[in-house]
Structure 1
Amino acid sequence: MGFAQSLSGVNAASSQLDTIGNNISNSQTVGFKSSTTQFADIFANSQGLGTRVSDTVQNFGTGSLETTGRNLDLAIAGDGFFQFSQNEQMAYSRNGQLTMSADGYFENAQGARLTDQQGEPLQITEFSQGAQATEGANGAQAAFNLDAEAETIDRDPDDFDPENADTYSYVTNAGTVYDSLGVGHDMSLYYTKTDTNTWEARASIPNPGGGDPLVSDPQTLTFNGNGQLDPDADPNGDGTVGVTALAFTADAGELGNGANELSFDIDLDGTTQNGEDFELREFAQNGNASGTFVGVEITENGEIMANYSNGNSGEVGTIGMANFRNPAGLTPEGDNLWTATEESGAALLGQAGTGQIGSLESGTVEASNVDLTQELVDMIIAQRNFQANNNAIQTQSDILETVTNLR
């Protein structure tokens, strides 16, 4: 009986040493979770028969977050797992070291693909963007403050001259607009105070042929006593109230570079007249030059933004995250991956930073949660346990030998 009891202790201590050795060997593995060996006693008819390994429990405590500066390295600040598709099976990981394949998939080192919340692999499909002309009723938006203390300029509307500063009150380069070939044109906006609370606005771009600038027709803006655009004014005198859009058109012949007609409205809503300096507060437009893919950014909520050389960006998709009611029930598959089991429960899918799922940190990885100091202490204890059981076996052997030698 003593042999069997001590042998069970040797086997249990050996299993514990295996677990400790595995923890230590993975102390530098990103996203690794340490394990602990648990024991249970064996009894039959109130007779102790030794010990056995009852379970090996995984510790899903968070490891420290370490900055790498690489934008495809991701760490989860809190609970949750990345969801990967591998061999038509879903697997889960805390290791967010990603690369991008030649065809635009986000993969780990073993080729498993990061998925969205529907379990579909995330992929960048557009590695270039075509040129887009600035166009439409909301082709551009601009908001200014116009100086209420500016002097009124008394001139005929036809006497406006962009080369003569005496014919307008204020001019600024608002931004760049684009034709159908993606050629950028610097657009200037001119404002002329024509009466109390009344201004004339014009838009202009340089003439591609080198002649006089291409200038829009004027648009009258009327402000109320609070310095806001008057929603009840009829600036064009045609019964249409609340007009705040400035139309700009340059036909193909005027552009002279083979592009189509450039035509869009500039929405001036939000422009004010106050006793402050002239100031451009906002400018945006919907055109762009052609561009090529230059990289991605990943937000803390898991949104993947593809960036292009023309300054544009577009959302590719959102990283699908998962959590489990009992993470300790997950089955480790190696390569920093786990799969769900009945014990873990089904994956609870969600978005990073919501519910019980932590937010993402780009340029960061989660280090192994192995505590080397504790593991070394546990190894000494397990070694002593192994030696004690081995000594018990040796003692049993010595007693049997003594009994055998009795005469």
Structure 2
Amino acid sequence: MGFSQALSGLNAASKNLDVMGNNIANSQTIGYKSATMQFADVYAGAKVGLGVSVAGVQQNFKDGNLEATGRNLDLAISGGGFLRFDQGEQIVYARNGQLTMTPDGYLENAQGGRLTGYPGAAGNGGQLQQLNIPAVGLPAKATEELKATLNLDAGMATLDPAAFDPLKPATYSYANGATVFDSQGSAQTLTLYFLKTGVNTWEVKAARATPEGQEFSADTTRLTFDSNGLLQGSSSISGGVAGTASSPYESTPVTFALTGGANNLDFQLNLTGSTQFANEFELGSLNQDGFTSGSLVDISVDKKGQIIGSYSNERTQVLGTIAMANFRNPEGLSPVGGAWVETSDSGQALIGEAGTGLFGGIEAGVVETSNVDLTKELVNLIIAQRNFQANAQTIKLQDEVLQQAVNLR
């Protein structure tokens, strides 16, 4: 039986060399995980062992180093988990995040697998699908709210609102410009006129610039301040008739009739946080939520796996969220060349969002290098070579013993 024992050792040693050779060959493969041969002795009831068998090949899912590339479609996982790809008729899982964009907007790896995830922002959930970057631009959004915080000078003289004339600065206390957008994305230039009309009361008139001059909103906002100079309430004056004053303060409507196909401009004027102190007029902030249309100019990926589109109108939008996967037993996954597929040993895939629970964060502009320790593999290769030689020497010695037995007379 000495021959069979040595032969089993040669076969096992040969396969061990194959595993090490594969590790060394993939020492520069992005996302590769090294493997180790597991041996088991064979007894089968005999007092002397019957040799050795290959019990399995164990994968080492230790993280590799992250290496910067500067390319926004190169992704790496910092921590546990896998990227999920729809590849042909099967779902595969990979640590290699080197992606390219197809002409129709899908994100693919080198094997043709398409990255999967959820539409829109993280947390939306829904049905997993192949992520697609739409070629269409970002449509315009009409302004729905104009926010401003300012200080109105409490020492200003009281004015008669009936004498207001935008061409006569003496008939109003203060004026400030603002820009809003209509439903077609056209910028509309506004002027807000502030008039002190009584003790702790002000009126705000909104005007839109037109080729003929200015068009005023049918609604005028009346502001009421308390004795400490804090904004207390507001009401809307339409056609000279004041509505019921609100307390605490609420935003008020501003409306303009537009021509040229756009919807009427209708938004809320929000002056929350404004004050009436005995200081000069001061504009603290001015913001509005509308914007013109824009074309997609770039995409990026954040740590949560959100794919963010940047547009020519300086706006951003979450186009999709990358789905992460993990397993109770990653070592039970079956390799399929650059990726893995789930098996009964690995268990079903656990799907979630990057940076939560079992899932690591996603890093853009970097890749995960192979976790092969080349120095260690070369040392192990020498040991494996000596193991092969020792088994070959065993066969040689068994041959010599058999030859001597044959030569006995």
Bucket of the pairwise TM-score, normalised by the shorter protein: 0.7 to 0.9
Q: Work out the CA distance in 2 between the residues paired with 1:279 and 1:6.
A: 89
Question: RMSD between aligned alpha carbons?
Answer: 2.6
Residue in 2 that maps onto 1:144: 149
Residue in 2 that maps onto 1:157: 161
Contact 2:221 2:235 in 1 (8 A): no
Residue in 1 that maps onto 2:282: 278
Partner amino acid for 1:142? Answer: K
Deviation at 1:178, TM superposition (A): 2.1
Deviation at 1:390, TM superposition (A): 1.9
Question: Deviation per CA, 1:204-227, whole angstroms, max 9, x where unpaired?
Answer: 4433x2x43444453221122454
Q: Work out the CA distance in 2 between the residues paired with 1:227 and 1:24.
A: 75
Deviation at 1:182, TM superposition (A): 2.4
Residue in 2 that maps onto 1:32: 32
Change (3 A) 1:113 1:234: closer
Deviation at 1:189, TM superposition (A): 3.3
Partner amino acid for 1:83? Answer: R
Paired residues for 1:3-402 under 5 Å: 3-44=3-44, 45-116=46-117, 118-125=127-134, 127-134=136-143, 139-147=144-152, 149-162=153-166, 165-174=169-178, 176-207=179-210, 209=211, 211-216=212-217, 218-231=220-233, 234=235, 236=237, 238-242=242-246, 243-252=250-259, 258-260=260-262, 262-273=264-275, 275=277, 278-286=282-290, 288-334=291-337, 336-402=338-404
Partner amino acid for 1:268? Answer: N
SS, match of residue 129 in structure 1: coil
Deviation at 1:167, TM superposition (A): 4.4
Partner amino acid for 1:8? Answer: S
Structure 2 residues not aligned, in runs of 5+:
119-126
Q: How many pairs are equivalent?
A: 391
Using structure 1 for the length normalisation, give the TM-score.
0.86
Using structure 2 for the length normalisation, give the TM-score.
0.86
Q: Which moved more, 1:297-306 or 1:12-21?
A: 297-306
Q: Work out the CA distance in 2 between the residues paired with 1:167 and 1:101.
A: 62
Question: Deviation per CA, 1:193-247, whole angstroms, max 9, x where unpaired?
Answer: 444432322334433x2x434444532211224544324x556463512253241
Residue in 2 that maps onto 1:255: none
Change (3 A) 1:225 1:380: farther
Q: Work out the CA distance in 2 between the residues paired with 1:72 and 1:91.
A: 19
Q: Work out the CA distance in 2 between the residues paired with 1:164 and 1:17.
A: 93
Partner amino acid for 2:110? Answer: A
Change (3 A) 1:206 1:342: same
Q: Work out the CA distance in 2 between the residues paired with 1:265 and 1:127.
A: 27
Change (3 A) 1:197 1:298: farther
Question: Deviation per CA, 1:277-307, whole angstroms, max 9, x where unpaired?
Answer: 6233251223x32322223232322222333
SS, match of residue 266 in structure 2: strand
Contact 1:222 1:235 in 2 (8 A): no
Q: Work out the CA distance in 1 between the residues paired with 2:42 and 2:188.
A: 84
Q: Work out the CA distance in 2 between the residues paired with 1:292 and 1:234.
A: 40
Contact 1:85 1:119 in 2 (8 A): no
Structure 1 residues not aligned, in runs of 5+:
253-257
Change (3 A) 1:109 1:163: farther
Deviation at 1:5, TM superposition (A): 1.8
Change (3 A) 1:369 1:167: farther
Change (3 A) 1:371 1:235: same
